[in-house]
Amino acid sequence: MDENRKNIVVVVLGDIGRSPRMQYHSLSLAEHGHKVDIVGYKETKPLSQLESAPLVSLHYLLPYPNVPLPRLMNYLFKTLWQIVTLLFVLLIIRKPHFVLVQNPPAVPALLVCWFYSFVYSAKYIIDWHNYAYSIMSLTNGPNHPLVKLTKKIEQFCGSRASANFCVTKAMKDDLMIWINIKATVLYDRPPDIFKPISLKEKHEFFSRISTVYNNFSSEIDFLTAFTEADELGNIKQNSKRPGLIISSTSWTEDEDFSVLFSALQSYENSCNENSNLPTLVCIITGKGPLKAFYKNKIATNNFKKVTFIMPWLEFQDYSLMLASADLGVCLHKSSSGFDLPMKVVDMFGCGLPVCAIEFACINELVVDGKNGFTFKSSDDLSKIFINWFTDFPNSPKQKELNYKFKLELETFQQLRWKENWDQTVYHVFN
């Protein structure tokens, strides 16, 4: 065996398909000739490049069965189930040189992977996306025994890792204060699939997707709701097109969809008073526990100027939708105050300006007035929508600001995931 080729286990105690950063890690490791075993759950389809990579093997965990038990007992049984199923898979795959585990979730992944690394004398690496205890405290409160236990586990495992990666400078500083570890900041950067596209490519995308979602279609041949083609095939924007906004949400407590919902209600009311505002098409992607609630709420509200679409998009179509939109919306409020939303990175990769809700370190990514907007409330967000879309798409003011944002985003796009990963963390595995 090539001495430089390592066996690396990547552990995601969640859906592999919805863990893009860990998929990108796996692809980067495989591109450098390492053998990668990625372990997690199969709920959504992983990246096609991951499935076809000859050096990557996917190992799916058996999901926990739905058993009607009291909450605490259910949590304990689920944890025991995850310990057993995770250890079973880990013990039948290749002996590792490195174990890279995502946090959160911390329980039981961090402890199991630490023990597994210890037994096989493998280097144990944690990739800190957030703090598990801070997420748990949203529903249980900071003084709950399980929250305190989870915090201790994160502290114990973090101090015993051979290396720690994290997603912001603020988190790096906090990990030094909290656990006294020197973490490496590996910012999320967009892979090559997230890129700006031409007006022709937008027209082709709208034409194709209009067969599924008629809000993108037009009754006239050669037209979509957003673009039009002449007899020679030249493409231009439809002068009476609606605005297109997009938000990707996990439908959880740390992403309050009511903020966007209220902002669009205010926009709807403003449309009745201002004829210079276009109708809006609002695309909302993602899965989560509160999706059904808001879907019913939208259905019972009589929106006339705002249309909501909640599509299921393949990865390629998701990137095309981002590149075709006029404005992105991020509702992520970090539970810890130290992580950044990866969805904004994808939007920036596509050249899409973003409105992001304010929290402690969001300015490491979104700078108000420079590459997008930040807001504190639904009123703030509504005002952004009104200012951005007044006289749209023919407003010189909006075009000038959009051009300024896109120039800034071109600079951001120059450093992609591959180059950033190679420069920042490749040496850890080499």
pLDDT, one tens digit for every residue, the chain (430 residues)? 466 899 999 999 999 999 999 999 999 999 999 999 999 999 999 999 999 999 999 999 999 998 888 988 999 999 999 999 999 999 999 999 999 999 999 999 999 999 999 999 999 999 999 999 999 999 899 999 999 999 999 999 999 999 999 999 999 999 999 999 999 999 999 999 999 999 999 999 999 999 999 889 876 666 899 999 887 778 999 888 999 999 998 777 778 889 999 999 999 999 988 889 999 999 999 887 888 888 888 988 889 999 999 998 889 999 999 999 999 999 998 899 999 999 999 999 999 999 999 999 999 999 999 999 999 999 999 999 999 999 999 999 999 999 999 999 999 999 999 999 999 999 999 8
The rounded distance, in Å, linking the Cα atoms of 149 and 142 is 11
Q: Kindly state whether residues 29 and 122 are assigned to the same domain.
A: yes
Q: How far is CA 147 from CA 102, 111, 152, 175, 178, in A?
A: 18, 16, 9, 18, 16
The rounded distance, in Å, linking the Cα atoms of 359 and 378 is 15
Backbone angles phi, psi at 77, to 5 degrees: -65, -40
Residue partners of 138: CB distance under 8 A and separation at least 6: 253, 254, 335
Q: Kindly state whether residues 212 and 167 are assigned to the same domain.
A: no
Torsion sign, CA atoms 117, 123, 124, 125: negative
Domain presence at residue 2: no
Q: Kindly state whether residues 409 and 421 are assigned to the same domain.
A: no
Residue 229 is predicted with a pLDDT of: 87
Q: Kindly state whether residues 363 and 240 are assigned to the same domain.
A: yes
**Residue pair 310/341 in contact by the 8 Å Cβ criterion:** no
**Start-to-end Cα distance in the chain:** 15
The rounded distance, in Å, linking the Cα atoms of 418 and 340 is 19
Residue 385 is predicted with a pLDDT of: 98
Q: Kindly state whether residues 387 and 278 are assigned to the same domain.
A: yes
Q: Kindly state whether residues 342 and 260 are assigned to the same domain.
A: yes
Please choose, from the candidates 240, 222, 230, 227, the residue with its C-alpha nearest in 3D space to the C-alpha of residue 200. 227
Give the domain CATH number at 388.
Answer: 3.40.50.2000
Q: How far is CA 130 from CA 161, 166, 180, 238, in A?
A: 16, 8, 17, 42
Q: Kindly state whether residues 21 and 158 are assigned to the same domain.
A: yes
Q: Kindly state whether residues 152 and 240 are assigned to the same domain.
A: no
Residue 47 is predicted with a pLDDT of: 94
Q: Kindly state whether residues 182 and 207 are assigned to the same domain.
A: no
Domain presence at residue 298: yes
Residue span of the structural domain in which 62 resides: 7-189+417-429
Please choose, from the candidates 395, 428, 417, 415, the residue with its C-alpha nearest in 3D space to the C-alpha of residue 326. 395
Domain presence at residue 194: no
Residue 239 is predicted with a pLDDT of: 86
Q: Kindly state whether residues 183 and 229 are assigned to the same domain.
A: no
Q: Kindly state whether residues 336 and 223 are assigned to the same domain.
A: yes
Domain presence at residue 274: yes
Q: Could you give the number of structural domains in the chain?
A: 2
Residue 231 is predicted with a pLDDT of: 76
Q: How many residues does the chain have?
A: 430
Residue 221 is predicted with a pLDDT of: 65
